[in-house]
Amino acid sequence: MFTRTIEPAFYDTDALGHVNNTRLPAWFELARNDLFRLFTPDLDPRKWRLIMARMEVDYRAELQYGREIEIRTYVSRLGNSSFTVSQEARQDGQLTNLGHTVMVHFDHEAKKAIPIEGELREALEIHLQAEPADA
């Protein structure tokens, strides 16, 4: 599991006084960089080997300005050429948001999915875990 801490900025808030729901997908993408580096260590987009097939976010509680948010990132499913990245946003220890993103190992020149094999598969397996009970 990878963990990042986000400190919301004032501009992340909305008219209702809490963190705007549009910020979560951006923070989740930022936190996926740790997994992206397994595929493209220098994050050079010209060498990119992934595409996003699906993204969903469950909003369970409001996030508040002025308090840190912990983003936890892990693999919850590992298929032949695709995998699901699960991400949790937690504030004050409470699960507030849960995201799932399906990523596909992809050859952009051939325009087709390619198997996840060898050391890459082993690296992803290290981060494979089930969702927590409070999810």
Residue 131 has pLDDT above 80, yes or no: no
CA distances from 67 to 13, 23, 36, 98 (A): 12, 15, 27, 18
8-state DSSP, 43: -
Residue 54 has pLDDT above 90, yes or no: yes
What is residue 135's predicted lDDT score, i.e. its pLDDT?
59
pLDDT, tens only, 12-36? 888 887 888 899 999 999 999 999 9
What is residue 133's predicted lDDT score, i.e. its pLDDT?
59
8-state DSSP, 128: B
Residue range 73-96: mean pLDDT, rounded: 96
What is residue 12's predicted lDDT score, i.e. its pLDDT?
85
Residue 115 has pLDDT above 70, yes or no: yes
Whole-prediction pTM: 0.90
Residue 103 has pLDDT above 90, yes or no: yes
The residue behind tokens 């020149």 is 109
- Comparing 130 with 111, which gets the higher pLDDT? 111
91 by DSSP, 3-state: which? strand
Positive/negative CA dihedral, 37, 41, 47, 49? negative
Residue 46 has pLDDT above 70, yes or no: yes
Residue 134 has pLDDT above 70, yes or no: no
Which tokens is 63 given? Answer: 């996030």
Q: Within 10 Å of residue 1's Cβ, how many Cβ atoms?
A: 13
Which contacts (CB < 8 Å, 24+ apart) does range 106-114 have?
106/49, 106/50, 106/51, 106/81, 107/49, 108/48, 108/49, 113/81, 113/82, 114/49, 114/81
